[in-house]
Amino acid sequence: MRDIAFGQYYPADSVIHKLDSRIKLILVVVYVVGVFLVNSFISYIPVALFLLSTILLSKVSLIKVMKSIKGILFIIMFTSLLNIFFNKVDNVLWSWGFLVITDGGLKIAAKLALRLLLLVAGTSMLTFTTTPMGITDGLESIMKPLKLIKVPVHDIAITMSITLRFIPILIEEIDKIIMAQKARGASFDTGGLVKRIKAYLPVLIPLFVSAFRRADELALAMDARCYNATQNRTKLKELKCKKRDLIALFITTIYLILVITIPMFFPIILDFFSK
């Protein structure tokens, strides 16, 4: 479990890292909308190009991006298999008993797998290039108008930041507790569902006890560092839109237009070249 790369910051000196985190949040939303608007294979081209250029510009190693996908590979394979067998569209390619594979089913499965891959790889580009503090600062800034209706925007942001920080710590803790209970003869992979859930109690209870203890200590430590001392909290890192942010926004707009229009223009382009 420990080598899940999703959600980790990858320090590098790149244009993408330097973008305003609010802009990056907007870009990710636009990118995700783009991925969901895709309805033909041809429209994946602008999406893939957009993602690839972002990765190259960000100087994040391709291996690291691949690793972020590795975590959800199982989900992708599982949904693909379901889609292959449950979508019976067009020509039957192969059948065995109730299992039928059609070319339409294959297409749907492939599209969905691509969509998931692009989604995860794209969103993890945000976390690779933006520190959790940057993301929460960005969210806080975007949500600022909500302060007017008394939403505790800053508290929400700091809670998110702390959650992100403690995920790897708690994962490591789960590993340790599982080992300790296994050493006391506990087994987690035998018996029916109820038995298995029950088997996890000796892991979950110590985990909760420890999480509460950590929360307690953290609250004390935050108080000791003057949390809530003033309403006029300052920020070390100022969010400022610069020229590069506007350019990024502009490029992303083009990307969205391309994703939408490419299926319409594609026949025309094909036509043009075949002449």
Partner 1 sequence: MDNIIEINDVSVTYQKDSSVIHAISHLTLNIKRGSFVAILGRNGSGKSTLAKLLNASLLPDSGEIFVDGINTTNEERAFDIRSKVGMVFQNPDNQMVATIIEDDLAFGPENLGIPREEIRKRVDWALKTVGMYEHRMRATQKLSGGQKQRVAIAAVLAMSPEVLILDEATAMLDPRGRSEVMDTARKLNKEKNITVVLITHYMDEAVDVDEIVVLDSGCIATKGSPLEVFEQIDIIKNTGLEFPTATETSLKLRGLGYDIPVVLTDESLVEALCQLK
Partner 2 sequence: MSIKVTNLSFIYSPKTPFEKVALDNISFEIAEGETMGIIGSTGSGKSTLIQHLNGLIRTTKGNITVCDIDLTSKRPNLKKLRSLVGMLFQYPEYQLFADTVFKDVCFGPLNFGFSQKAAEEAAEEALRLVGLNFDDVRDRSPFELSGGEKRRVAIAGVLASKPKILVLDEPTAGLDPAGKREMLDLIRSLKGDSIKTVIMISHNMDEIAEYADRVLVMDNGKIIKDSHPRALFSDISMFKETGLKLPHSVNISTLLRARGFEIGTPLNINELLTNICDRMEGSK
Q: Which does 274 bind (CB under 5 to 8 A by kind): partner 2, partner 1, none?
A: none
3-class secondary structure per residue, 2-16: CCCCCCCCCCCCCHH
Q: Give me the least distance between CB of 67 and partner 2, in Å please.
A: 8
Any contact of residue 176 with partner 2 (CB under 8 A)?
Answer: yes
Q: Which of 109, 181, 245, 259 touches partner 2 by CB under 8 A?
A: 181
Nearest residue to 244 via CA among 27, 63, 2: 27
196 binds, among partner 1, partner 2, none (CB under 5 to 8 A by kind): none
Residue 190 binding result from partner 1, partner 2, none, given CB thresholds of 5 to 8 Å by partner type = none
| Locus of tokens 């507790």 | 177
Of residues 121-140, those binding partner 1 (CB under 8 A): 131-133
Residue in 221, 251, 254, 269 binding partner 1, rule: CB under 8 A: 221
Tell which one of 229, 243, 272, 273 touches partner 1 (CB under 8 A).
Answer: 229
* Percent helix / strand / coil, the chain, rounded to 5: 75, 5, 25
What are the phi and psi torsion angles at 94 (to 5°)?
-160, 140
- Crossing angle for the helix pair 73-86 and 103-129, nearest 10 degrees? 160
Amino acid at 262: I
Question: Are 7 and 164 within 8 A, CB to CB?
Answer: yes
Contact between 62 and partner 2 (CB under 8 A)?
no
What one-character-per-residue DSSP string does 209-274 give? Answer: HHHHHHHHHHHHHHHHTTTTS-SS---SS-----HHHHHHHHHHHHHHHHHHHHHHHHHHHHHHHH
Asked if residue 2 binds partner 1 (CB under 8 A), the reply is no
The residue ranges that bind partner 2 (CB under 8 A) are 3, 63, 67, 176-177, 179-187, 201-203, 205-206, 209-210
Binding site for partner 1 (CB under 8 A): 8-9, 11, 131-133, 158, 161-162, 164-165, 168-169, 213-214, 217-218, 220-230, 232-238
